[in-house]
Chains A and B, each alone.
Chain A
Amino acid sequence: MRLERRASVPPILYVAAPLAAVMVALAISGALIALAGASVPEAYRRMAIGAFGSRLAITETLTRATPLILTGLAAAVAFRARLWNIGAEGQFYIAALATAALGGAASAGGLLPGPLLIPFLMICGAAVGAMLLLAPLALRLRFGVDEVVVTLLLNFVVLLFVSMMIDGPLRDRMAFGWPQSVRVSPEAALPKLWQGTRLHVGLLVAVAMSVVVWIIQSRTAFGLEAKAAGFNPRAAAFAGVPIPKVLVGVACLSGGLAGLAGAIEVMGVKGYVTTDLSPGFGYAGIVVAMLAALNPIGVVAASLFVAATFVGVDGMSRALKVPSFIADVTVALSLLCVLVALTLVTYRIRR
């Protein structure tokens, strides 16, 4: 038995294969749910209710999907150019911290009016996130240091830094000793999309960004160069693509998107930074990007799926006493199945 590259792939397969893979993954985790002693149809029914069954459920899922879309895009644009940015988590946190510091009621008071303050803080967050990725890239371009290791390890450095700051200079004195940062000023809070829920306009920003990224990748000269540099750096260099410059651009975009996720999460949901602001949005972004086969529009769908799984399982596990780890298992299984499915899209099995 061996794998053989397909000569041509019907475009429909690119959509059908991931969907089929997710079905397979749900079937496998169904077996695990049964093993945990719950009824499988009931569990999935509860999951669907938990994720989409009410106004609250739907808005929770969408709120959860918002940062995932952005970190997913961050991973997708970087991986497309073979820049292995594993540091979206760190970029998320450092941007969140910067947003809280700059948008804190004390420093932002009267600095900028609300309608300007929000975009300003978003741009600042993106810039900080981008800078955190430019440092590992500079090391790679200059000394050939592997960016996987550096970006990954920076995540922990940043988290410790955040934890130091919110226990020190940026600590909220009104928080009864809880380690949390100063609050952003109320003018910097993102408007709600739906009153009485947590859903905020960050979702629109995230979806808009996915369209912007799609346009950049498929229509601009920069996108074409980044694609060429990712697939075959030697040929790209021969054709005169300035690879270091392109990678700097990709790093700004990728780090910027992860930073934007952090800024939006602070302004949209909590209003302040704690060290559990992100339940691993940065890492989940990698999963989302892979689930979406690095397609920026697919990232939106993949984020919804991942968010719905986590939110849905929360409700289901409370009701049926199935450990909520089943959400992680389902998402991980989906990733494995999608990777297999995408291999089978490009290759066929011959015996």
Chain B
Amino acid sequence: MVHQHFALAPNLTVIENVVAGTEPLWGWRSRRSAARKKLAELSSRFGLAVDPDRLVSELSVGERQRVEILKPLYRDAKILILDEPTAVLTPAESESLFAALKTMAAEGLSLIFISHKLHEVMRSADRVAVLRGGRKIAERRTSETSVDELAELMVGRRVSRPTRTAQEPGAPMLAGRDLGFAKGGRTLVEAASFELRAGEVLGIIGVSGNGQSSLVEMVCGCEAPASGEIAYFGETQATASPRGLVASGVGRVPEDRHAQGAVGELTLWENAVLERLKEPRFRRLGFVRRAEARGFATDVITRFDVRGGGPETPTRLLSGGNMQKMILGRNLASDPRILIAAQPTRGLDEGAVAGVHAEILKARASGMGVLLVSEDLDEVLGLADRVQAMVKGRLSPPVPVEQLDARRLGRMMAGVWDEAA
């Protein structure tokens, strides 16, 4: 089993991580030379090159992934289960992973590859089982099916992701100039600049963990930039507070619904107004105006088709897609002029993705500026007007989406953008 989130000890070397748990605890000596030989043999056989003596903390994400795969192989696994293995890989790294998987299959191993990215499934698998609502509802050979059919099976109905129409961008809405941010001595964002205009979707793409989270925290008013400045609606704000931003017309969709977007134990209406508790329409003399707050929540629920509960339902009972609709809805219901959407479709099923995409394009059509931070190539290519890649805390220059394809975007995500600009 290879988990989506790595289970490696960063303070141990590669070989120590691989053999940990296979050696007898009370043995007099560890049989490292034999282990080393076996690991080297596995590495070359499956094309999973990695230096056995380096510390895991020094490895790139792609290399860590290889170590994770080598661990079960070293234990002579015959069946390998990979849970969303490409979530943290650049497209190029994914390609080399697929090549390794093919070799393993050719060597007689059985592989189960769990993913929601349809193209990857089509690229790497021989057979596909489609799960929906905890049930296996279909099984196809990849040679006999298509991405569209799989998408339809996943959702249970025909879905087509909405498409973008050409539109002239308007005045600058949101700009970051030379933004820098560091935490715990690590530089997370460095000299990042961008400009978002009205009626435009600016895509920020990057492999997860390259500073996007900190960038979003800064523009959302949760963290103050260490250097540089952010301008909302053309005006620089020294100290932007989350509530000040929300009140001035900035909608914010955080990247982690459960950890940041909503308090699961609170009811839907409480979550709907939590970021607006300072506004007079929901507050009088320190008391919450409950009728107004419930009305607002009901409005969000009906307008954005939030299913699975009413205003009094605890938010944790909603499905991911409906929770996301509630979060989007509470922002869009008051017609903001900027929408910051971080990983808005992460973990959502294909039907919910189409719904979120439609809302984002509708916002764009109404003249909103949308900052879309995403790891999903298709999402960025489908929604954004211009794209900037984020690599190791730095932002590439913006590139119009017309000049981009998946291959070139992949190169940008790997940090190659000088020729792309």
**Interface contact B288-A224, CB-CB below 8 Å:** yes
**A216-250 Cβ-contact flags toward B at 8 Å (1 or 0):** 00011110110110011011111111000000000
**Interface contact B287-A238, CB-CB below 8 Å:** no
**B245-265 Cβ-contact flags toward A at 8 Å (1 or 0):** 010000010100001111111
A234 to B274 CA separation, bound complex (whole angstroms): 13
**Interface contact B286-A221, CB-CB below 8 Å:** yes
Interface centre among A224, A227, A236, A237 (most CB of B within 10 A): A224
**Interface contact B259-A232, CB-CB below 8 Å:** yes
Across the two chains, which residue of chain B brings its CB closest to A228?
B263
> Residue A349 at the B interface, CB < 8 A?
no
| A-chain residues with CB within 8 Å of residue B278 when the two chains form the complex | 240
- Contacts A219-B287, A221-B288, A238-B254 given: A231-B266 contact, CB under 8 Å? yes
- Contacts A228-B263, A240-B275 given: A221-B283 contact, CB under 8 Å? yes
Chain B contacts with A in 366-421, Cβ cutoff 8 A: none
Closest CB in chain B relative to A147 CB, distance in Å: 22
> Residue B268 at the A interface, CB < 8 A?
no
| B-chain residues with CB within 8 Å of residue A8 when the two chains form the complex | 317
A238 to B283 CA separation, bound complex (whole angstroms): 19
**Interface contact A239-B275, CB-CB below 8 Å:** yes
- Contacts A219-B287, A238-B242 given: A224-B277 contact, CB under 8 Å? yes
**Interface contact B260-A238, CB-CB below 8 Å:** yes
Closest CB in chain A relative to B315 CB, distance in Å: 10
> Residue A12 at the B interface, CB < 8 A?
no
**Interface contact A221-B222, CB-CB below 8 Å:** no
Chain A contacts with B in 197-228, Cβ cutoff 8 A: 219-222, 224-225, 227-228
A236 to B263 CA separation, bound complex (whole angstroms): 7
**B209-223 Cβ-contact flags toward A at 8 Å (1 or 0):** 000000000001110
> Residue A175 at the B interface, CB < 8 A?
no
Interface residue range, chain A: 20 to 34
Closest CB in chain A relative to B224 CB, distance in Å: 13
- Contacts A228-B266, A231-B264, A231-B265 given: A7-B277 contact, CB under 8 Å? no
| B-chain residues with CB within 8 Å of residue A224 when the two chains form the complex | 266, 270, 274, 277, 288
> Residue B227 at the A interface, CB < 8 A?
no
- Contacts A7-B317, A227-B266 given: A235-B288 contact, CB under 8 Å? no
Partner of A235, one of B241, B259, B282: B259
Partner of A221, one of B260, B265, B287: B287
> Residue B243 at the A interface, CB < 8 A?
yes
| A-chain residues with CB within 8 Å of residue B220 when the two chains form the complex | 238
Across the two chains, which residue of chain A brings its CB closest to B293?
A224
A221 to B276 CA separation, bound complex (whole angstroms): 10
A241 to B273 CA separation, bound complex (whole angstroms): 11
| B-chain residues with CB within 8 Å of residue A220 when the two chains form the complex | 286-288
A234 to B264 CA separation, bound complex (whole angstroms): 12
Closest CB in chain B relative to A223 CB, distance in Å: 8
- Contacts A228-B266, A232-B264 given: A219-B288 contact, CB under 8 Å? yes
> Residue B45 at the A interface, CB < 8 A?
no
Across the two chains, which residue of chain A brings its CB closest to B217?
A238
Partner of A219, one of B246, B274, B290: B290
A228 to B262 CA separation, bound complex (whole angstroms): 9
- Contacts A238-B242, A239-B242 given: A232-B277 contact, CB under 8 Å? no
| A-chain residues with CB within 8 Å of residue B266 when the two chains form the complex | 224, 227-228, 231
Closest CB in chain A relative to B306 CB, distance in Å: 17
**Interface contact B246-A240, CB-CB below 8 Å:** yes
A219 to B291 CA separation, bound complex (whole angstroms): 11
Interface centre among B222, B263, B275, B286 (most CB of A within 10 A): B263
A237 to B243 CA separation, bound complex (whole angstroms): 10
Across the two chains, which residue of chain B brings its CB closest to A9?
B314
**Interface contact B265-A225, CB-CB below 8 Å:** no
Across the two chains, which residue of chain B brings its CB closest to A225?
B277
**Interface contact A231-B246, CB-CB below 8 Å:** no
A115 to B282 CA separation, bound complex (whole angstroms): 39
| B-chain residues with CB within 8 Å of residue A236 when the two chains form the complex | 263, 274
**Interface contact B243-A235, CB-CB below 8 Å:** no
| B-chain residues with CB within 8 Å of residue A239 when the two chains form the complex | 242-243, 274-275
A235 to B264 CA separation, bound complex (whole angstroms): 9
| A-chain residues with CB within 8 Å of residue B282 when the two chains form the complex | 221
Closest CB in chain A relative to B232 CB, distance in Å: 15
Closest CB in chain A relative to B373 CB, distance in Å: 15
| A-chain residues with CB within 8 Å of residue B287 when the two chains form the complex | 219-221
Closest CB in chain A relative to B96 CB, distance in Å: 35
| A-chain residues with CB within 8 Å of residue B275 when the two chains form the complex | 238-240
| B-chain residues with CB within 8 Å of residue A221 when the two chains form the complex | 277, 282-283, 286-288
Interface centre among B260, B264, B274, B317 (most CB of A within 10 A): B274
Having A224-B266, A225-B274, A239-B242, one finds 9 other A-B pairs with CB under 8 Å, namely A8-B317, A219-B287, A228-B263, A231-B266, A235-B259, A237-B242, A238-B252, A238-B254, A240-B242
26 contacts between A and B (CB under 8 A): A219-B287, A221-B283, A221-B288, A222-B286, A224-B270, A224-B274, A224-B277, A225-B277, A227-B263, A227-B265, A231-B263, A231-B266, A232-B262, A232-B264, A234-B259, A235-B260, A235-B262, A237-B242, A238-B222, A238-B242, A238-B260, A239-B242, A240-B241, A240-B243, A240-B246, A241-B277
List A residues at the B interface (Cβ < 8 Å).
7-8, 219-222, 224-225, 227-228, 231-232, 234-241
4 closest residue pairs by CB, A with B: A240-B242, A240-B243, A239-B275, A239-B274
